[in-house]
Chains A and B, each alone.
Chain A
Amino acid sequence: MEIDKKEVLRYMGYKNQIIDDNMTLLIDECCLEMIDICRESSVYEIFDIERKNDQLFLLGSTLILKDSDIKNLLAHSKKCVVMAATLGTTVDSRISYYSRFNITKGLIMDACATTAIEYLCDELQNVVMQNALKDGLHITTRYSPGYGNFSINNQLEILNVLDAYKKIGLSVTENSIMLPRKSVTALIGLSKMVSPKPQVSCKSCKNVECNFRKDGGQCAK
């Protein structure tokens, strides 16, 4: 596990303010502590895609994709990777602890964890990409339920298909909150063509108040 400090700062809304030694030290400490308490785990499966009645069926699983954004992402894909990753429960309880008794550290740890789960997903995506390349396939970007119009309700089905609770302890509440908190589910398409980037614009996302968007940035790297 590696945590990119620049990313941590970005998640905290950093815009080149002057940071004194104490704060620098604190952020460094938090990065190390986060790496220490992460119990990262992940799981993925690859399915063939069948297209029928304007829907995408992931063969051998119960997943059926109907939302236009995810169908666009997979427009040229013949296979689909279904993945889930988590940092584990210790990260949650530590963040919760600090957010009550040392809120500064709570906030920084939260940003560290967000950076860490993205890193974990990037690593997993890398493995997927390397394996796909061996078969002459290219990957699309990674796309998660809740982005664009890809309904967040797909989370439950993705976790069921992956048997994620049993395998990596990942669950989802009735309100579609994944627990442990620092977790991701996502789909990646595998296609013979190199997919044009970026396929997904920030503008199609429902989170209109997002701070990254206001600043003209993007939540995904």
Chain B
Amino acid sequence: MPNKINFNNFLLFDGAMGTMLQKYGIKMGELPESYNMLHPEIIEKIHSEYLGAGCDIITTNTFGANRYKLKNTQYSVEEIVESAVKIARSVAGDKFVALDIGPIGQLMEPLGTLSFNDAYDTFAEQIKIGAKYGADIILIETMSDIYEAKAAILAAKENSSLPVICTMSYQGDERTLTGTDPLTMVNILQGLGVDALGVNCSLGPNEMLPVIAEILKYSSIPVIVQPNAGLPKLVNGEAVFDVHAHEFAQYAKIMAEMGVTILGGCCGTTCEHIKAIKGELIQLIPVKRDVKRITAVSSPSLTVVLGEEIRVIGERINPTGKKKLKEALKSNNMDYILQEAINQRDAGADILDVNVGLPEIDELEVMVRAIKELQSVINLPLQIDSVRCDVIDAAVRIYNGKPLINSVNGKEDIMDSIFPIVKKYGACVIGLTIDEGGIPKTAEGRLKVASRIVERAAEYGIDKSDIIIDCLVLTASAQQSEVKETIRAVGLVKATLGVKTTLGVSNVSFGLPQRELLNKTFLAAALTAGLDAPILNPMSQAMMATIHAFNVLWNRDIASKKYIKTYSTFEGSPTIQGKQLTSNDRDLNRVIIDGMKEEAASLTKELLNTMTEMEVVNKYLIPSLDIVGQKYESGEIFLPQLLQSAETVKKSFEIIKERMMASKDKKLSKGTIVLATVRGDIHDIGKNIVKILLENYGFEVIDLGKDVHEDVVVEAVKNGNIKLVGLSALMTTTVRSMGETIKALRDNNLDCTVLVGGAVLNEEYAKMIGADYYAKDATQTVKFARKLFNCE
């Protein structure tokens, strides 16, 4: 058995398994892991050859040994992993055995159907078995999706005590296939507490150099590189790797001199390559690297670094004092929340705060759902905001990236419950300068609390670069004399502790008129004192303007590029959207039929000055929609034109709904309809088209999304006492789950009509699976719904 692994020295991994197996005659498409059972002597021979070449670590033949890939084979995960580890162990002697964990081979949600928890369970199964039979290290490799890597790392750390190494594969554009750049990878993986991280596969050593340089710039843990033997070239119809051993080793030497300490080979590499690297490493000593820690939060494809430009944290997704958001949360209306996120992003927010705390809802469940939905739509990093520790824990766990937690403070019990989460998931955290004694009056008092937060974090192994201090803004109307203490505290905390800072700026003006004036003045002062990331409403142009201006004056917006881009065309520049209306076609009917959606809101508002909401609906929206529908059916317009009109009506409807909500007038809804794309299917454009048209006609739609399990449909129908359900499926393979969904509804004795649609369906097929009706397109669905709910 080997000693404990020493990450301070060079470590040499073996080369490719697949390339060697090809040499021994494996067919393309054959399961490489089956050789553990069918030809253990070949696997043993390959390991021995690599050991003979001088490697320190051999990798088990378990790259694809997961339950998804083994599903339709005769092998179980247990027997494949067990045999692989045993074979490696039998020849390893005092060298190390790395349990190889490759990607599952399925795309994760939201792009695919593999959930985070299923990915975790899949990896956990492999890891438990690997650890049980004596692996020394876990090598999570060739990852393209950082979310999958996170699931694997958590599975490794929660189900074994072995060291964990994680590598990802990059494309020529220096991103992984799912869009992760090197900085983002380092920021996330290092936070998750791996022992080493790096890059493998896809590229040859030369093409990898820029990626490696970037990783080394940020990684304070050991870096591993396992390149392919060049880029594959097609010779006589066969892929050939043409970087030979000597050249490969020269690259390895360059990498070692750059600071890489763990080397090995991927596709196309053989014992010759490993032997040649060994020859170079013997003559070198590991380079000591001095990496400066940065404060940064990440989504899977974007990292926001604090301390350079001023970064804006958008505060809009927080129900406190927001009636519409409260309504949306209560009715599970995610679209509203997502629209708030999109608006803030478009207004220039860098990070979005997410708070869904309402007593009437299940905060944990809604938070998890909101995080998932938000991350499927925007790529800004998120700030997870809750007073409940269990909510933070659940949200941070399923978050894809390195989140910011809002918040911890100087209270002992809060620190003891939040810091373990920060450490485990590698998050950043906001520390509020308040403790058991309240908010200290003076700047010095707040510094004291901040210092204690930083010290206690260090005891949990959290670096101060992961802490952002909030010196807390008091309102000028109540504690006027203390407002400037906050500004002083920001300067003091930064100078003394060297941490980044944030402030919830708009608190300052609470209870006073012209709040924006106070807010932006306070903001400018705080920025001058060193505020890095204000929390504010990015929809406020005055606030954003102050930040743009500050970035110019403080030399952060280099050459005033952003400023000029934002303001040089501020006035009078022509927009490409929408033609200008002349006075005689300022008619909502015309606007809807022509699909000029930019005009709909203002015209609707105008009409509402002289008409009731229902009059606008009945005189304008419905008749225009009918005309558009007829035009579509007769072939006078085609689908995108129909949709353009539908979106125009939607804009108009939003104004009307807002008015009705404010006036608590009679209900607008003509009936509630549940829509879902069935389990296993992910095509939802068709369903979304049906949705917008139904909403246009005044129906309320509960959109369950895509890949929806039948239980979820049953639940929604039961809870909402729903009379009409629309199901869509696009594949012959998923029509089966459509049938199962209908059966589940019937089995639960739910009195609802089921309407189905989708490319592969027809009348006959619909009958066969037990549907009540088949609709060939969205307009037919609308007709049917209007009939069912007696709207005609």
Question: A206 touches which one: B110, B144, B732 (CB < 8 A)?
Answer: B732
- State which residues 657-696 of B face A: CB under 8 Å: 680-685, 688-689, 692
| Interface 0/1 of B607-638, CB less than 8 Å to A | 00000000000000000000000000001111
A15 cross-chain contacts in B, Cβ below 8 A = 635, 638
Asked whether any CB of chain A lies closer than 8 Å to the CB of B451, the reply is no
A63 cross-chain contacts in B, Cβ below 8 A = 29
Contact indicator A103/B647 (Cβ below 8 Å): yes
- State which residues 156-211 of B face A: CB under 8 Å: 171, 173, 177-179, 201
Asked whether any CB of chain B lies closer than 8 Å to the CB of A200, the reply is no
Which B residue's beta carbon lies closest to that of A160? Answer: B29
Asked whether any CB of chain A lies closer than 8 Å to the CB of B747, the reply is no
Contact indicator B237/A104 (Cβ below 8 Å): no
B680 cross-chain contacts in A, Cβ below 8 A = 173-175, 177
Asked whether any CB of chain B lies closer than 8 Å to the CB of A136, the reply is no
Contact indicator B111/A180 (Cβ below 8 Å): yes
Contact indicator B113/A12 (Cβ below 8 Å): no
Contact indicator A209/B759 (Cβ below 8 Å): yes
A179 cross-chain contacts in B, Cβ below 8 A = 106-107, 111-112, 682
Choose the segment among A70-78, A115-123, A163-171, A191-199 that binds chain B (4+ C-beta atoms closer than 8 Å). A163-171
Asked whether any CB of chain B lies closer than 8 Å to the CB of A60, the reply is yes
Contact indicator B640/A90 (Cβ below 8 Å): no
Which B residue's beta carbon lies closest to that of A156? Answer: B72
**A100–B336 alpha-carbon span in the complex (Å):** 11
Q: Count chain A CB atoms within 10 A of each CB in B177, B178, B646, B761 and give the residue with the most.
A: B177
Contact indicator B28/A13 (Cβ below 8 Å): no
Asked whether any CB of chain B lies closer than 8 Å to the CB of A39, the reply is yes
Contact indicator B594/A20 (Cβ below 8 Å): yes
A181 cross-chain contacts in B, Cβ below 8 A = 682-683
Closest CB-CB distance, B379 to chain A, in whole Å? Answer: 9
Which B residue's beta carbon lies closest to that of A128? Answer: B237
**A45–B178 alpha-carbon span in the complex (Å):** 25
Contact indicator B637/A93 (Cβ below 8 Å): no
Closest CB-CB distance, A169 to chain B, in whole Å? Answer: 4
Provided the pairs A45-B237, A165-B105 are in contact, do residues A173 and B685 lie with their beta carbons within 8 angstroms? Answer: no
Asked whether any CB of chain A lies closer than 8 Å to the CB of B576, the reply is yes
Contact indicator A96/B640 (Cβ below 8 Å): no
Closest CB-CB distance, A77 to chain B, in whole Å? Answer: 14
A169 cross-chain contacts in B, Cβ below 8 A = 144, 177-178
Closest CB-CB distance, B622 to chain A, in whole Å? Answer: 20
Asked whether any CB of chain A lies closer than 8 Å to the CB of B103, the reply is yes
Contact indicator A12/B638 (Cβ below 8 Å): yes
**A209–B757 alpha-carbon span in the complex (Å):** 12
| Interface 0/1 of A77-88, CB less than 8 Å to B | 000000000001
Closest CB-CB distance, B9 to chain A, in whole Å? Answer: 30
Closest CB-CB distance, A134 to chain B, in whole Å? Answer: 11
Question: A209 touches which one: B107, B376, B731, B761 (CB < 8 A)?
Answer: B761
B338 cross-chain contacts in A, Cβ below 8 A = 100-101
Provided the pairs A17-B635, A22-B596, A96-B110 are in contact, do residues A107 and B237 lie with their beta carbons within 8 angstroms? Answer: no
B635 cross-chain contacts in A, Cβ below 8 A = 15, 17
Contact indicator A62/B29 (Cβ below 8 Å): yes
Contact indicator B28/A61 (Cβ below 8 Å): yes
| Interface 0/1 of B326-350, CB less than 8 Å to A | 0000000001001100100000000
Asked whether any CB of chain B lies closer than 8 Å to the CB of A208, the reply is yes
Asked whether any CB of chain A lies closer than 8 Å to the CB of B36, the reply is no
| Interface 0/1 of A198-210, CB less than 8 Å to B | 0000000011111
Asked whether any CB of chain A lies closer than 8 Å to the CB of B566, the reply is no
**A206–B765 alpha-carbon span in the complex (Å):** 13
Which A residue's beta carbon lies closest to that of B237? Answer: A46
Contact indicator A207/B641 (Cβ below 8 Å): no
Contact indicator B29/A90 (Cβ below 8 Å): no
**A52–B325 alpha-carbon span in the complex (Å):** 67
A162 cross-chain contacts in B, Cβ below 8 A = 28
Contact indicator A89/B179 (Cβ below 8 Å): yes
B335 cross-chain contacts in A, Cβ below 8 A = 100
Contact indicator A90/B179 (Cβ below 8 Å): yes
**B interface: dominant SS:** loop
**A159–B107 alpha-carbon span in the complex (Å):** 14
Asked whether any CB of chain A lies closer than 8 Å to the CB of B639, the reply is yes
| Interface 0/1 of A40-70, CB less than 8 Å to B | 0100011000000000000011110000000
Total A residues in contact with B, Cβ cutoff 8 Å? 64
Contact indicator A25/B762 (Cβ below 8 Å): no
Question: A39 touches which one: B142, B171, B732 (CB < 8 A)?
Answer: B171
Asked whether any CB of chain A lies closer than 8 Å to the CB of B23, the reply is no
A99 cross-chain contacts in B, Cβ below 8 A = 684-685, 688
Contact indicator B637/A17 (Cβ below 8 Å): yes
A7 cross-chain contacts in B, Cβ below 8 A = none
A13 cross-chain contacts in B, Cβ below 8 A = 638-639
Contact indicator A101/B339 (Cβ below 8 Å): yes
Asked whether any CB of chain A lies closer than 8 Å to the CB of B4, the reply is no
| Interface 0/1 of B77-102, CB less than 8 Å to A | 00000000000000000000000001
B685 cross-chain contacts in A, Cβ below 8 A = 95, 99, 103, 106-107, 110
**A85–B357 alpha-carbon span in the complex (Å):** 45
Provided the pairs A15-B635, A62-B29, A171-B112 are in contact, do residues A103 and B643 lie with their beta carbons within 8 angstroms? Answer: yes
Asked whether any CB of chain B lies closer than 8 Å to the CB of A4, the reply is no
**A6–B759 alpha-carbon span in the complex (Å):** 22
**A125–B684 alpha-carbon span in the complex (Å):** 30
A90 cross-chain contacts in B, Cβ below 8 A = 179
Asked whether any CB of chain A lies closer than 8 Å to the CB of B733, the reply is yes
Contact indicator B734/A104 (Cβ below 8 Å): no
Closest CB-CB distance, B373 to chain A, in whole Å? Answer: 10
B759 cross-chain contacts in A, Cβ below 8 A = 207, 209-210
Contact indicator A104/B177 (Cβ below 8 Å): no
Which B residue's beta carbon lies closest to that of A127? Answer: B234
Asked whether any CB of chain B lies closer than 8 Å to the CB of A108, the reply is yes
Contact indicator A107/B179 (Cβ below 8 Å): no
Asked whether any CB of chain A lies closer than 8 Å to the CB of B760, the reply is yes
Asked whether any CB of chain B lies closer than 8 Å to the CB of A176, the reply is yes
Contact indicator B579/A21 (Cβ below 8 Å): yes
**A75–B398 alpha-carbon span in the complex (Å):** 52
**A22–B27 alpha-carbon span in the complex (Å):** 54
Asked whether any CB of chain B lies closer than 8 Å to the CB of A157, the reply is yes
Closest CB-CB distance, B678 to chain A, in whole Å? Answer: 10
Provided the pairs A100-B377, A101-B342 are in contact, do residues A23 and B640 lie with their beta carbons within 8 angstroms? Answer: yes
B638 cross-chain contacts in A, Cβ below 8 A = 12-15, 17
Asked whether any CB of chain A lies closer than 8 Å to the CB of B792, the reply is no
Closest CB-CB distance, A80 to chain B, in whole Å? Answer: 11
Asked whether any CB of chain B lies closer than 8 Å to the CB of A129, the reply is no
Q: Count chain A CB atoms within 10 A of each CB in B640, B683, B684, B685 and give the residue with the most.
A: B640
Asked whether any CB of chain B lies closer than 8 Å to the CB of A102, the reply is yes
**A12–B635 alpha-carbon span in the complex (Å):** 12
Which A residue's beta carbon lies closest to that of B63? Answer: A166
Contact indicator B177/A89 (Cβ below 8 Å): yes
- State which residues 690-709 of B face A: CB under 8 Å: 692
**A171–B107 alpha-carbon span in the complex (Å):** 7
**A46–B112 alpha-carbon span in the complex (Å):** 30
Closest CB-CB distance, B178 to chain A, in whole Å? Answer: 5
Closest CB-CB distance, A120 to chain B, in whole Å? Answer: 16
Asked whether any CB of chain A lies closer than 8 Å to the CB of B578, the reply is yes
Known: A12-B639, A88-B177, A177-B683. 20 other contacts (CB 8 A): A17-B635, A17-B638, A21-B579, A22-B579, A25-B576, A62-B27, A62-B30, A89-B178, A99-B688, A103-B685, A152-B732, A152-B733, A163-B18, A165-B103, A171-B105, A174-B680, A175-B680, A177-B733, A180-B111, A181-B682
Residues of B near any A CB (own CB < 8 A)? 18, 27-30, 102-103, 105-107, 110-113, 142, 144, 171, 173, 177-179, 201, 237-239, 335, 338-339, 342, 376-377, 576-579, 594-596, 635-641, 643-644, 646-647, 680-685, 688-689, 692, 731-734, 737, 759-762
19 examples of A-B residue contacts, CB within 8 angstroms: A17-B638, A20-B594, A22-B595, A23-B640, A26-B640, A39-B177, A60-B27, A60-B28, A62-B27, A90-B179, A101-B339, A103-B689, A169-B178, A173-B113, A175-B737, A177-B681, A177-B682, A177-B733, A206-B732
